[in-house]
């Protein structure tokens, strides 16, 4: 799979995204028949150039480099329609190595006294991506929820397999807790969140918080990557993963992170969140996913298991939505999808 053994610079990723958009923009209309029957299940307002990613010249599904999707995410965060970004860089020490964070907050929040905080983790299949791709989203969350958002530049596989990523986001959480007075953060109102692989890391971090007796108020899980057994061996899941993120990509990314083929026995704590048997005592969660997403079944099952374990959970399954489609903010359904996640977070972290 391209991108696993050598990732391009973010500049190269952005160029890959530009190239993908340029090719796709002229192809969707002409190739809709080639995209297969699943195309007709896509909501009409989401039939965007992004759909062509993962499909070769004949329309047959093909693996794509994760950095192509990352480049598109970065480009959507840099348009003029978005408000000015609030992020500032912070480098902390994490076990003798430097860990880069991005902090987002409004001046009003700093003047308001202690507020809640969100530790955010970007997507990219655990093998690609950067905090930079979520600058606009993190800025929006900081503005609308009135909280501090801390986005983590965690290490990526295969150069840094498990447990590097979970150790990095844990270090970020510990830094926030220790620095809470200076940051103006109420440690009783901490949340974790992320999209795709970042959502899976957020779920794993929530599990680690429970195991380490660290209070956590909320999990914001946006189409999270939870289960390495989904599409193990690259076997297609009928009706799922036809667009953007395929079973083959999923299997290869999990293998890079876990250092063994996906679907093989895995008992290490926090490696694959869906593998955990006991979910009791975890923080309340919001989980959102599309019904065409490869992760649909694992997200629905995880929500069911949380509920059965007594954990408050809200699940949104969006009809006609494929993986990552919430970048299509021109679509009313995707504006509502994203707004619901932020509203749920805000309510969870609001002072009584």
68, 94, 323, 341: which is the annotated catalytic residue? 323
DSSP string, 25-78: HTTHHHHTTTT-GGGGGS-GGG--GGGGTTB-TTS-B----HHHHHHHHHHHTT
293, 326, 333, 341: which is the annotated catalytic residue? 293
Residue 143, CA distances (Å) to 59, 86, 87, 286, 298 in order: 41, 9, 11, 19, 31
Active-site residue 40, yes or no?
A: no
Residue 263 has a CB neighbour count (10 Å cut-off) of 19
Angstrom distance (rounded) from CA 32 to CA 40: 9
196, 253, 333, 341: which is the annotated catalytic residue? 196
Active-site residue 196, yes or no?
A: yes
Residue 3, CA distances (Å) to 31, 185, 231, 331 in order: 26, 37, 19, 30
Which pair of tokens denotes residue 178? 């220790």
At residue 219, φ and ψ (nearest 5 deg) are -120, 125
The residues with which 88 forms a beta bridge, in sequence order, are 103
Is residue 103 within 8 Å of 150, Cβ to Cβ?
yes
Active-site residue 323, yes or no?
A: yes
Q: Which of 270, 119, 298 is nearest to 193 (CA)?
A: 119
DSSP letter for 153, please.
-
Catalytic residue list: 196, 293, 323
């Amino acid at each position: 799979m391209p991108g696993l053994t050598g990732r391009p610079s973010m500049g190269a990723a952005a160029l890959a995204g530009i190239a993908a958009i340029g090719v796709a923009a002229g192809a969707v209309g002409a190739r809709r028949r080639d995209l297969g029957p699943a195309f007709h299940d896509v909501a009409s307002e989401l039939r965007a150039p992004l759909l062509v990613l993962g499909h070769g010249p004949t329309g047959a599904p093909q693996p794509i480099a994760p950095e192509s999707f990352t480049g598109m995410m970065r480009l959507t965060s840099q348009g003029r329609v978005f408000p000015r970004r609030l992020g500032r860089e912070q480098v902390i020490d994490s076990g003798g190595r430097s860990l880069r964070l991005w902090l987002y907050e409004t001046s009003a929040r700093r003047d308001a006294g202690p507020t809640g905080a969100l530790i955010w983790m970007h997507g990219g299949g655990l093998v690609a991506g950067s905090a930079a791709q979520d600058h606009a989203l993190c800025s929006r969350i900081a503005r609308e929820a009135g909280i501090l958002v801390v986005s983590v530049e965690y290490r990526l596989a295969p150069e840094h397999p498990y447990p590097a990523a979970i150790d990095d986001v844990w270090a970020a959480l510990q830094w926030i807790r220790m620095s809470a007075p200076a940051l103006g953060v109420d440690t009783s109102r901490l949340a974790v969140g992320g999209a795709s692989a970042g959502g899976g890391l957020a779920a794993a971090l929530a599990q680690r918080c429970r195991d380490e007796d660290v209070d956590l108020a909320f999990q914001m899980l946006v189409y999270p990557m939870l289960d390495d057994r989904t599409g193990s061996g690259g076997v297609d899941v009928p009706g799922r993963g036809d667009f953007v993120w395929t079973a083959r990509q999923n299997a290869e990314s999990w293998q890079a992170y876990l250092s063994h083929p996906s679907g093989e026995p895995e008992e290490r704590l926090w490696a694959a969140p869906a593998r955990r048997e006991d979910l009791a005592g975890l923080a309340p969660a919001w989980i959102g996913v599309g019904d065409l997403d490869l992760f649909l079944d694992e997200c629905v099952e995880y929500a069911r298991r949380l509920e059965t374990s007594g954990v408050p959970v809200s699940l949104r399954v969006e009809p006609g939505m494929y993986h990552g489609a919430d970048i299509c903010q021109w679509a009313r359904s995707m504006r509502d999808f994203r707004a619901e996640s932020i509203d749920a977070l805000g309510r969870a972290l609001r002072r009584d």
